[in-house]
Chain A
Amino acid sequence: MRVWPWLLALAFTLWVLLPIYLIALSAFSPREAVYAWPKAFLPGSLSLETLRFFFGVEGVWRATATSLVVAGLTVAFSLLLGAPAGYALARFPFPGRDAFRVLLILTRAFPIVVLALPLAVLFLRVGLYDTPLGVALVHTALTLPFAVLVSASLFLSIPKELEEAAWTLGCTRTQAFVKVVLPLALPGLAATAIFAFITSWNEVFAASVLTLQNKTLTAYLLTLLDESPLPFKFAGGFFLVVPALVFLFLVRRYLFTLWGISHR
């Protein structure tokens, strides 16, 4: 039957969207509405009261700022290390290239839970503990494999002849990269950057274990969660979900590149 695929799609969509909708609804509802039971499925009275309360809590803004710094550093590291590595993978045959590719993915095979404690000890020793830089380094380790592989497939999709043409027209290798390759790679690199940003923004475990005072927003919310009122949780949840949604909306085109579908 033709109807089944549609029903299935509808079910999946609801499965994803319904919780997000409910969180958003609660975040914009007045306090009484959040506690009310049964839940109103349609917004009765919208208010910014809950969100205002959320941002009024001590430390939220500081944690947000820390999150931004960590995510910003993660993006910078991912691009600065990932793009050149991806370029090398795409353009230069070197011994062990395929092994390198597999190893990159293997780095994700170690659960962060296993790594976090030794890392904490190491970070304490070298003075990176409880710093945004330390957290950003761990987050970079998480995002780097994807940054490398995505940018590799990105550079692979840009014909080598374009670069060669630029060389014959008077460019050095660097000039050719900046004038020809980079403008063409930019949308894809932007997607990689946003991916790194979201990964860092949402990561909670490493951020919790490796910090004490300088917690990122997720880590901070985690510590507050148990002892905070329900509306606070909803507001926090909503605030965390929004960047991911914006990201997905912006990069849905490039997700195909991310998954290597558009390339042979």
Chain B
Amino acid sequence: MGSIRVENVVKRFGKVEALKGVRLQVQDQEFLVLLGPSGCGKTTLLRIVAGLETPTQGEVYIGERRVTHLPPRLRGIAMVFQNYAIFPHLTVYENVAFGLRMKRRPEAAIRQKVREVAALLRIEELLERYPAQLSGGQRQRVAVARALAVEPEVLLMDEPLSNLDALLRLEMRAELKRLLKETRTTTLYVTHDQVEAMSLADRIAVMRQGEIVQLGTPTEIYHHPADTFVGGFIGNPPMNFLPVVAEGGQVVLDGLRLPSPAERGPLLLGIRAEDLEVFPEPVEGGFAARVLVVEPLGPHLQLTLEREGTTFRALADPGFAAAPGATLYLRPKEGRVRFFHPETGKAL
């Protein structure tokens, strides 16, 4: 069974607390993504699971085994590194076979397994080459093949796509998704790219400053962010936050009336750009805003608008006629408005 359980893991580097008591459970065969800005501790957490760092406090379990103090080789893991870490002095074949040789598998079994994963990653043609003769995308494939060849209980990936150019990244992302569906390997995957996280993950753990701030499916996290940080970090453009004031259990923005979670006082209204409908004329249940910038992005028109000193974004149809300085009317789609506490940023 390839589950991972991280219990109250604390990691300090000198005085810096990189992880502040993280709990996390990755189910067998699950694809879980650790997502967060750089320096949030996601890579440290991955390295602790791998055994490349030891936690200052807390325990790590893989399957039912407590592995907190085991070296990487005894943990039943395989890892794909950001810079691939392919051995430059070995051929692709020997790179892929490396883990199997360490396990002293018979030569015939090694040959068969290498062929098998090479076919899976479509690198059969490259087996006799040296890494220096490979492109970035090919190295990436070799690194994944090498990791899968040992049939790990758990696959750990540290920003494996971040060194690829944009087009190749898209291609490899789809490929990885297909691959890991096929192999059903439990995967813990680190990235700072929210699109990558959304597209690959069964569940996402959003991290900030050494803590997991939200854990959930991509849809949950996208539509119900736990706080303004998550809402702002996930989605492009980020979620809009408009300061509003509740009175008598209601929030009123021009013609828009919404029941508020608080009886009275300031609140933040969160709404995603694509959840705002844009109208040229005043509309029932809409509020007014002034256009600052119009960006035709192809599939839609991205509008940057201003209302009472707050800028926010909305998406309109590509054919929508809008000019900077004009006043437009916006109406949130049914059920898409979220409220957040104006100081703590927590969802209400």
Contact = CB atoms under 8 A, between A and B. Distances in A.
Interface of A: 159, 161-162, 164-172, 175, 180, 183-184
B72 A167 contact: yes
21 contacts: A161-B81, A161-B83, A162-B87, A164-B52, A164-B85, A165-B86, A166-B98, A167-B51, A167-B52, A168-B50, A168-B51, A168-B52, A168-B79, A168-B156, A169-B73, A170-B73, A170-B99, A170-B102, A171-B73, A172-B73, A180-B89
A97 to B, nearest CB: 15
Contacts of A165: 79, 81, 85-87, 146
B303 interface: no
B15 interface: no
Given A170-B99, A170-B150, A164 B72 contact: yes
Contact of A168 (B78, B86, B88): B78
A169 B102 contact: yes
Interface of B: 50-52, 71-73, 77-79, 81-83, 85-89, 98-99, 102-103, 146, 150, 156
Nearest to A173: B71
Given A184-B88, A184-B89, A168 B83 contact: no
A27 B72 CA distance: 61
B52 A169 contact: no
Nearest to B52: A164
A166 B98 CA distance: 8
Contacts of A184: 88-89
Given A168-B78, A170-B103, A159 B85 contact: yes
Given A161-B82, A168-B156, A171-B102, 14 more contacts: A159-B83, A161-B81, A162-B85, A162-B87, A165-B85, A166-B98, A167-B51, A167-B72, A168-B52, A168-B77, A168-B78, A169-B99, A169-B102, A172-B71
Contacts of B146: 165, 169
Nearest to B80: A165
Contact of A169 (B51, B78, B88, B89): B78
Given A161-B83, A162-B85, A162-B87, A167 B71 contact: yes
Contacts of B87: 162, 165-166, 180
A138 to B, nearest CB: 36
A167 B81 contact: no
A164 B73 contact: no
Contacts of B77: 168
Contact of B81 (A164, A175, A180): A164
Contacts of A168: 50-52, 72-73, 77-79, 156
* Interface hub of A162, A169, A171 (most chain B Cβ within 10 A): A169
Contacts, number: 59
Nearest to B81: A161
A188 to B, nearest CB: 13
Given A161-B81, A165-B79, A175-B102, A183 B73 contact: no
Nearest to A169: B99
A63 B51 CA distance: 54
Contacts of A166: 87, 98
A155 B82 CA distance: 20
A167 to B, nearest CB: 4
A240 to B, nearest CB: 36
Nearest to B143: A165
Contacts of B98: 166, 169
Nearest to A184: B89
A180 B85 CA distance: 11
Contact of B89 (A159, A170, A183): A183
B195 to A, nearest CB: 25
B75 to A, nearest CB: 8
B47 to A, nearest CB: 8
B169 to A, nearest CB: 20
A161 B87 CA distance: 10
A190 B153 CA distance: 41
Contacts of A162: 85, 87-88
B150 A169 contact: yes
A164 B156 CA distance: 13
Nearest to B101: A170
Ranked nearest first, the 3 interchain pairs of A and B with the lowest CB-CB distance are A170-B102, A161-B85, A169-B99
Nearest to B158: A161
Contacts of A169: 73, 78, 98-99, 102, 146, 150
A171 B85 CA distance: 15
Contacts of B81: 161, 164-165
Nearest to B74: A170
A172 B71 CA distance: 8
Nearest to B103: A170
A178 B83 CA distance: 22
A253 B83 CA distance: 26
A180 B51 CA distance: 19
Contacts of B71: 167, 172
A244 B85 CA distance: 37
Contacts of B88: 162, 184
A166 B73 CA distance: 9
Contacts of A164: 50, 52, 72, 79, 81, 85
Nearest to A183: B89
Contacts of B73: 167-172
A140 to B, nearest CB: 29
Contacts of A167: 51-52, 71-73
A62 B76 CA distance: 59
B186 to A, nearest CB: 15
